[in-house]
């Protein structure tokens, strides 16, 4: 019950984390000329480098899968990058946590807000790249529910990762390597269709494959498969149970772990 | 609405996690040895920071928390501000709390003083309009003049204290919780701050202030709570406390 109240209080503070999230994002790029557009550069650089490498080294026909790969990289910013960043949710705001009473969920919502902003900027970069490369496809309408579900996962995952990482600092360091590992075993910059049937199960049983696919499919103009929805909604349910258990057990303790 | 803070039999155990215990290795090791060896070695130490605190703070109180370093002043402030949940006992708070515990908490060192007034106002959940209407008065009270256009990282501790206090009292607040940083201001500013706190209390507001500065206590507060080793050693009016101090010195 207390955990639900914490989340409810967090929702009521929406105007605050909305403004604070924008503010923290803006201040990350203080004194730079491009400002928040630096967030888009990550995707731009990788996309163009890939375009150059792939077409130069492997022949032009691989360029057919180019939009898939770049859309995969964009999806990863919400699936993977947000996961890697969630270890710092409480550590980053330690000063604020020790100075003002706010529910724990406030900091998680703040994290979701920042992840969404980052995704938006990268999405703009994605469409710019696609226009330049002459491969622009209008997104499928399912992109909107897919983003909503993924933001829900980012939030729940935030609790699941941030609470243990605040208590055990090794978890915090481990996360960045774990996400790097996941990046290679998940079909982001390679395609699941290229995997031999014998090893296909590795891809199919990876929940992150389905999360990436859920965003990638509408970005490249078609609806995601039912199996991707099932896996992702299933993951949401599991994460919700773990997140609320952790929140109920350790809500009052986290501030002492900082 | 009446503003009130009530603490009843409040205990607070502060868990100190040494570097060793914050690593996963020792937690895994704990499982392997049945969770006894490392704990017995005192890896997670529970410090009883507050013990059986009973305190009633009512409208119009300007209460000072005094005591040696480590006596529990800041911990009690954090309990009152709702940051630490009491381990045992009851805490009841009626009113909107503004807490300014660490001097630079909430200050963005890269942003200018003016921008920080806006940011701190935002943290108090005030609308842009309300903030804009107060900025001028806050800027004037801080006495920082043109320095407000410089980044806060160029400020001295005293200047930061001026800015923080001006903001803390420049926006509406029912209950104001302040730690010792106020003493960083110079004599003229401390006098100004004292006057302002007197006026706040006329609007039925509560000020809780932790300090080492006896002079500040005498000038600002009407009640004193002295802590010793996490327990209340003295609770009474400022006059009573001054007499108590004198009797102790004699």
pLDDT tens profile A83-118: 999 999 999 988 888 888 899 999 999 999 999 999
pLDDT at A35 over 50: yes
Through-space distance between the first and last CA atoms of chain B, rounded to whole angstroms: 44
**A27/A55 Cα distance (integer angstroms):** 38
Q: Which is higher by pLDDT, A117 or B32?
A: A117
pLDDT tens profile B199-211: 776 676 888 989 8
- Judge if ipTM > 0.90: no
pLDDT tens profile B145-183: 899 999 999 998 888 888 888 888 888 788 888 887 777
Q: Name the average pLDDT for chain A.
A: 89
Whether residues B123 and A95 touch (CB distance < 8 A) is answered with no
Mutate to test the interface with A, among B38, B50, B83 (most CBs of A within 10 A): B83
What pLDDT shows up at residue A236?
A: 96
Q: Is B168 within 8 Å of chain A by CB?
A: no
Phi/psi-derived region of residue B63, left when phi > 0, alpha when psi is between -120 and 50, beta in every other case: beta
pLDDT at A61 over 70: no
Q: Is the pTM of this model over 0.90?
A: no
pLDDT tens profile A109-151: 999 999 999 999 999 999 998 898 888 889 999 999 999 999 9
Mutate to test the interface with A, among B5, B17, B177 (most CBs of A within 10 A): B17
DSSP string, B195-208: HHHHHHHHTT-EEE
Q: What is the percent of chain A with per-residue pLDDT over 90, rounded to a whole number?
A: 56
What pLDDT shows up at residue B38?
A: 43
The nearest alpha carbon in chain B to A257 belongs to: B17
Q: How close B17 gets to chain A, by Cα (Å)?
A: 7
Give the list of residues 6+ apart from residue B51 with CB closer than 8 angstroms, or none. Answer: B11, B229, B230, B231
Interface of A with B (CB under 8 A): 13, 15-16, 19-20, 23, 27, 30-31, 95-101, 167-171, 174, 252-253, 255-257
What pLDDT shows up at residue A51?
A: 74
Through-space distance between the first and last CA atoms of chain A, rounded to whole angstroms: 25
Cross-strand partners of B91 = B7
Whether residues B22 and A253 touch (CB distance < 8 A) is answered with no
What pLDDT shows up at residue B171?
A: 83
List the single residue in A19, A30, A252 with the smallest CB-CB distance to B110.
A30
pLDDT at B79 over 50: yes
Q: Is B22 within 8 Å of chain A by CB?
A: yes
Q: B20-25, long-range: CB within 8 Å, 24+ apart, which pairs? A: B22/A167, B22/A168, B22/A169, B22/A257, B23/A168, B23/A169, B23/A170, B24/A168, B24/A170, B24/A171, B24/A174, B25/A170
Q: What is the 3-state secondary structure of chain A?
A: CHHHHHHHHHHHCHHHHHHHHHHHHHHHCCCCCCHHHHHHHHHHHHHHHHHHHHHHHHCHHHHHHHHHHHHHHHHHHHHHHHHHHHHHHHHHCHHHHCCCCCCHHHHHHHHHHHHHHHHHHHHHHHHHHHHHCCCCCCCCCCHHHHHHHHHHHHHHHHHHHHHHHHHCHHHHHHHHHHHHHHHHHCCCCCCHHHCCHHHHHHHHCCHHHHHHHHHHHHHCCCCCCHHHHHHHHHHHHHHHHHHHHHHHHHCCCHHHHC
B56: helix, strand or coil: strand
Q: Is B36 within 8 Å of chain A by CB?
A: no
What pLDDT shows up at residue A104?
A: 93
Least confident of A32-46, A235-249, B12-26: B12-26
Could you tell me if B88 and B7 are in contact, meaning their C-beta atoms sit under 8 angstroms apart?
A: no
What pLDDT shows up at residue B29?
A: 60
pLDDT at B36 over 60: no
Q: How close B141 gets to chain A, by Cα (Å)?
A: 23
| Mean pLDDT (whole number) for A76-85 | 93
């Amino acid at each position: 019950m207390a955990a639900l109240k914490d989340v409810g209080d967090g929702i009521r503070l929406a105007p605050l984390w909305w403004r604070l999230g924008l503010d923290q994002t803006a201040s990350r790029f203080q004194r730079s000329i491009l400002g928040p557009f630096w967030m888009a550069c990550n995707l731009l650089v990788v996309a163009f480098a890939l375009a150059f490498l792939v077409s130069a080294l492997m022949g032009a026909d691989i360029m057919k899968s180019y939009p898939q790969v770049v859309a995969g990289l964009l999806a990863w910013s919400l699936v993977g990058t947000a996961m890697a960043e969630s270890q710092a949710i409480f550590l980053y705001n330690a000063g604020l946590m020790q100075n003002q009473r706010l529910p724990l969920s406030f900091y998680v919502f703040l994290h979701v807000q920042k992840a969404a902003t980052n995704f938006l900027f990268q999405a703009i970069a994605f469409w710019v790249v696609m226009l330049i490369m002459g491969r622009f496809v209008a997104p499928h309408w399912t992109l909107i529910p897919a983003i909503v579900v993924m933001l829900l996962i980012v939030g729940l995952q935030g609790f699941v990762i941030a609470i243990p990482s605040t208590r055990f600092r090794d978890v915090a360091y481990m996360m960045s390597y774990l996400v790097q590992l996941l990046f290679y075993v998940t079909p982001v910059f390679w395609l699941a269709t290229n995997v031999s049937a014998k090893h296909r199960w590795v891809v199919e049983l990876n929940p992150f494959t389905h999360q990436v696919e859920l965003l990638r499919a509408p970005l490249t103009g078609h609806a995601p498969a039912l199996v991707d929805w099932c896996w992702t909604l299933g993951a949401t349910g599991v994460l919700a149970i773990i997140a609320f258990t952790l929140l109920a057990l350790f809500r009052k303790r986290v501030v002492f772990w900082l | 609405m009446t503003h009130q803070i009530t603490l009843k039999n409040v205990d607070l155990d502060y868990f100190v996690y040494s570097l060793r215990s914050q690593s996963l290795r020792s937690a895994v090791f704990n499982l392997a040895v049945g969770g006894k060896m490392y704990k017995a070695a005192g890896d997670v130490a529970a410090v009883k920071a507050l013990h059986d605190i009973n305190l009633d703070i009512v409208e119009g109180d300007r209460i000072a928390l005094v005591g040696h370093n480590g006596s529990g002043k800041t911990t009690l402030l954090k309990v009152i501000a709702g940051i630490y949940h009491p381990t045992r006992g009851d805490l009841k708070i009626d009113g909107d709390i503004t807490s300014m515990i660490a001097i630079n908490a909430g200050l963005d060192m890269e942003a200018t003083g003016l921008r920080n007034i806006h940011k701190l106002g935002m943290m108090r959940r005030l609308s842009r309009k309300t903030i804009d209407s107060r900025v001028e008065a806050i800027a004037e009270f801080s006495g920082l003049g043109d320095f407000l256009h410089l980044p806060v990282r160029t400020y001295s501790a005293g200047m930061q204290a001026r800015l923080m206090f001006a903001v803390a009292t420049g926006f509406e607040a029912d209950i104001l919780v302040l730690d010792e940083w106020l003493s960083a201001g110079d004599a003229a500013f401390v006098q100004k701050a004292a006057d302002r706190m007197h006026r706040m209390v006329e609007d039925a507001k509560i000020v809780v202030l932790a300090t080492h500065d006896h002079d500040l206590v005498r000038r600002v507060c009407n009640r004193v709570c002295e802590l010793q080793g996490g327990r209340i050693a003295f609770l009474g009016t400022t006059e009573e406390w001054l007499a108590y101090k004198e009797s102790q010195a004699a």
